[in-house]
Structure 1
Amino acid sequence: MTASTDSLQELITPVQYVLWDLDGPICRLFAGRPAGGIARDLVHKIDALGLGGSLSPAERARRDPHAVLLRVGEQHPGSDLVVELEEWLTRQELTAVPGARPTPYADPLIRTWTALRVVSAVTTNNSARVAAAYLETRGLAGCFASLYGRTGDLGLMKPHPYSLRRALTAMGADPSRALMIGDSPSDYAAAAAAGVPFLGYARNEEKAAALVDAGARPTHIVADLSHVRTALLAQA
């Protein structure tokens, strides 16, 4: 699924601020170790800590470690054990950074927006420490004004718009002049709640369908970020 150049130009023309999700639009963080394996290990750790009853059979089978962590956080808010689980996941994410794979054309798109004086921030459910570590490996740290990731309050993870609103406030940004680039329904929901236009990145039809089901416009979903850069350069 690829949006037309016209629809992309219409979407990005007003943009002065870009809010990037990390895992998906910028890189495949767990390219060297699939996220499903991290999720299974997290479930085992939850069981070992005696919190296994917090998860339903369906939740135990989830391939998304963030969803698993969020569910336990909802059941045990503020628990020291949840803090321990969050720190464990952060360590797994940091370990994954050296094997992370850049999303095709993400680096040049980020650099192009920076050259055009568009201000970027990361708004992710990963740890901000992980975002900083990854961007440093790519020489992209200077392209981002701020990085917002998981906090100790797991209820503020996307789909909550907390990280987006923090970034907008820090940049002094009008939400209508911003753009969220994400690859999940939670990214779309957070953008909608914050009043920020949304561009979906979907590397396969399954992810595209999930975004559409969540409410994203099919004309605002791309499978290839090079099309976004082409539309950006066409109006520069």
Structure 2
Amino acid sequence: MDDASALLEHASCVLFDFDGPLADLFAGHPASRIADRLRRRAGRLGVPPAELPETGDPLRILRIAARHDSTGRIAAELEVQLTREEVHAARTAPPVPHADRLVERLAAGGRQVAVTTNNSARAALAYLQRRGLARYFGSHVHGRAADPALLKPHPDCLERALASTGTAPAECLMVGDSPGDFFAAVSVGVSFVGYARNDRKAQALRQAGSEHVVRSLEDLTMAAALA
């Protein structure tokens, strides 16, 4: 609680990863099934089957396909399909406990909020509109770029958020749930707090170097009310 309060005290803007800290995006539309469909599509489009591993991570398929696609056509087609799948998932995705209230309290306290995610900005915005949260984020919803090489841990989406909010890195705090989130934040000088919904997530964040990890967003929500 003390750590959370100290982090928020100096933050005029809070950047949120989307899937994990705000929503359980794939709860009703599993990422593993999406990855299977993307892998089959990539194979039909010409990516060597031996290069397409069994994985539950659709973004991994997107990255691999891009490396075998000098024209950009394959990656573009997979991007369209993945975005469609994510928007569909966003229609039923449940919120992370305390996430809605945290966003509301941050905004009520005069802080800007932004999304910095490897998911589609369209999916994140669809979810925020459904939850009545879009008004807090405005135009500050930054999803993956067309180039998969710019996915986190590359800081591209964070850099876009800093530019759109007009905020210096030292004035920002990022809430993320993966080592990639942590590395992206550190690379641009943004403070970071990890959200870990289980022991595996907590261990991965701490091994990456995150000093601040919370197991519930309630800690941050309470701190936002006091900071």
Paired with 1:31 and 1:61, the residues of 2 have a C-alpha distance of 20
Specify the alignment match of 1:127 in structure 2.
120
1:150 matched to 2:158: no
Rounded to whole Å, the distance in 1 between the matches of 2:183 and 2:67 is 18
Following superposition, the deviation at residue 11 of structure 1 comes to 1.5
- Structure 2 length-normalised TM: 0.95
In the alignment, structure 1 residue 48 sits paired with structure 2 residue 38: no
* C-alpha deviation, 1:71, in angstroms: 2.3
Q: Which runs of 4+ in 1 moved over 3 A?
A: none
Shift of 1:74: 3.1
Deviation at residue 76 of structure 1 after TM alignment: 2.3
1:210: which partner in 2?
204
2:155 counterpart of 1:161:
yes
Match of 1:112 in 2: 105
Percent identity, please. Answer: 42
Inter-partner Cα distance in structure 1 for 2:213 and 2:35: 27
* 1:22-61 mapped onto 2 (5 Å cutoff): 22-53=18-49, 55=51, 60-61=53-54
Alignment gaps of 5+ in structure 2? none
Per-residue deviation, 1:48? 1.8
TM-score, normalization by structure 1:
0.91
Number of the residue aligned with 2:215: 223
State the partner residue of 2:7: 11
- 1:105-138 CA deviation, whole Å, 9 max, x = no partner? 0000000000011001111111111111110000
Deviation string for 1:134-174 (max 9, x for gaps)?
A: 10000001111411111211111111101101110111111
Q: Deviations over 1:42-89 (max 9, x none)?
A: 111111222134725xxx122111122122223325521110001100
Contact 1:54 1:72 in 2 (8 A): no
1:197 to 182, 186, 191: 191
Change (3 A) 1:78 1:200: farther
Q: For 2:123 and 2:198, how far apart are their aligned partners in 1? A: 25
Q: Please tell me whether the aligned partners of residues 65 and 74 of structure 2 are also in contact (alpha carbons under 8 angstroms).
A: no
| SS in structure 1 at match of 2:91 | helix
Count of residue pairs the alignment pairs up: 226
